[in-house]
């Protein structure tokens, strides 16, 4: 479960045909499942295991994450802008929560 919505950063101006960098920062503990609590019990794993980016229904980029990804996962990737549309970003975690952000891509 994310305590706060993810932060997403795109370039201020986007030209059609450009390859842009999309920076994302999720708020998540990324509990590894290897730690123990004060009484010696294993703290269950709770990580974002899948991140996907789709533009108008087409896959742009995706990531399978494991416990070696740092807390509050930062992922920056690239996209070839084919025109205006909606970029849909999703984060899925072990607790069954799916966080979806829809980002309008406006070309100039």
Partner 1 sequence: MAKMLDRRTFLLTGTAATAIASFIGEAAGEDAAGESAEFKHVLEAILNGATPTETGLVLDLPEHVENGDYVPVALEVDSPMTSEDHVKAIHLLSTANPRAKVATFHFTLLSGKARVTSRMRLAHTQDVVAVAELSGGRLLVTRRKVDVRIGGCDI
Q: Which residues bind partner 1 (CB under 8 A)?
A: 19, 32, 34-36, 55, 58-71, 73-80, 82
**Measuring CA to CA, which residue among 55, 70, 64 is closest to residue 91?**
64
- Which C-beta is closer to partner 1: that of 4 or that of 35? 35
| CA distances (Å), origin 14, targets 22, 44, 101, 108 | 11, 42, 19, 6
**Joined tokens for residue 108:** 């100039």
CB-based contacts of 66: which residues, under 8 Å, 6+ apart? 47, 49
- Which C-beta is closer to partner 1: that of 77 or that of 107? 77
Q: How far is the CB of 100 from partner 1 (least distance, A)?
A: 19
Calpha distance 19→16 (Å, rounded): 9
- Which C-beta is closer to partner 1: that of 72 or that of 101? 72
Q: How far is the CB of 53 from partner 1 (least distance, A)?
A: 9
- Which C-beta is closer to partner 1: that of 99 or that of 105? 105
């Amino acid at each position: 479960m994310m305590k706060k919505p993810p932060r997403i950063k795109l370039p201020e101006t986007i030209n059609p045909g450009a390859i842009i960098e999309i920076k994302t920062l999720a708020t998540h503990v990324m509990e590894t499942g290897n730690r123990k609590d004060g009484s010696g019990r294993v703290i269950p794993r709770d990580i974002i295991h899948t991140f996907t980016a789709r533009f108008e229904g087409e896959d742009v980029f995706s990531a399978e994450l494991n416990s070696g990804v740092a807390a509050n996962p930062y992922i920056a990737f690239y996209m070839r802008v084919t025109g205006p549309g909606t970029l849909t970003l999703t984060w899925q975690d072990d607790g069954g929560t799916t966080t979806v952000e829809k980002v309008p891509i406006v070309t100039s």
